[in-house]
Structure 1
Amino acid sequence: MENKMREVLIDKVVVNMGVGESGIRLNNAERVLEEITGQKPVRTISKRTRQPFGIKKGESIGCKVTLRKDRAERFLKDALSILNNMISDYQFDETGSFSFGIEEHTDFPGMEYDPDIGIFGMDISVSLRRRGYRVSKRRKNRKKIPKRHRVTREDAMEFLRSKFGVTIVEWE
């Protein structure tokens, strides 16, 4: 019997749509993101003014959704199937997290192209953890997670291979 504390779990999946402007286009992006994920998105605001792009500090320029538990797993399964269950090894970091992008929201099942809305791409970031990570987040008696208990890059790759049947492509 394997130790349950060593099991790798999905902590959260963050889906981000950077539109670059507020207004109708941002409202359309929010509607699309809510339809895909089944959850209401929150707006992301710009941190500084970028005059060449016409962006002011504090202006809403995108939206994001954080998915957890079963919803995160279902969404991740759909998103990975769009990529034909293939991810490059350079998309993983040393802490076991990985990110990838989807160019068109119309690739998701049930989504069709609407000329009034347009096409939106999205960035997906997945954070993995093991049981017991709450020790580093709680208010009282907070402790550090030992190095041997942290999720490594290799652990994350093995988790994707076994759980979702993903092929990891080596990058030269």
Structure 2
Amino acid sequence: MELHLGMDEEPTESLWVRIKGKAGTGDTIEGVCYRPPNQDDQVDEALYRQIGAASGSQALVLMGALNQPNICWRDNTARHKQSRRFLKCIDDNLLLRVIEEPTRRGVVLDLVLTNKEWLVGNVKLKGSLGCSVHEMVEFKILRAVRSVHSKLTTLDRKPTVSWAASKEV
């Protein structure tokens, strides 16, 4: 189901959808964004508000070319004001960066962000598609696993204690 996050604001190049989960697994919000390198501050702020609205969900995956070449991901610092504001958005919304490797000419420009560490797995860079200078990023969005309840039963027959464990699935 398509979500209309901040559609009454500055237009951003983004698409937000809610993927309905199977019973007991919960929904996932997925966003795909393209942030042009020369995007102005007002559009950036509109995008950050969309990210903030989406990050309140239980499970979020945000992917796209967010074009922040001035960020040093090793220590999460940036030389430029725009990039510092982007880092603040990631930090404020408790998002985790999934891609560690450069995706374009030695720089991390394409990102996969999530608010749940267990939600994204098997991340691989697959080379470029056609004439693109960006690396293709392949990953899996993992479903939440139902928690397994276990019960420990203690039996007391004699002065010595014996026990048996049983699991409920």
TM-score (ref. length: structure 1): 0.23
Choose 1 or 2 for highest CA Rg: 2
User: Which structure has the higher relative contact order (CA within 8 Å, separation 6+)?
Assistant: 1
Larger helix fraction of residues: 1
Larger strand fraction of residues: 2
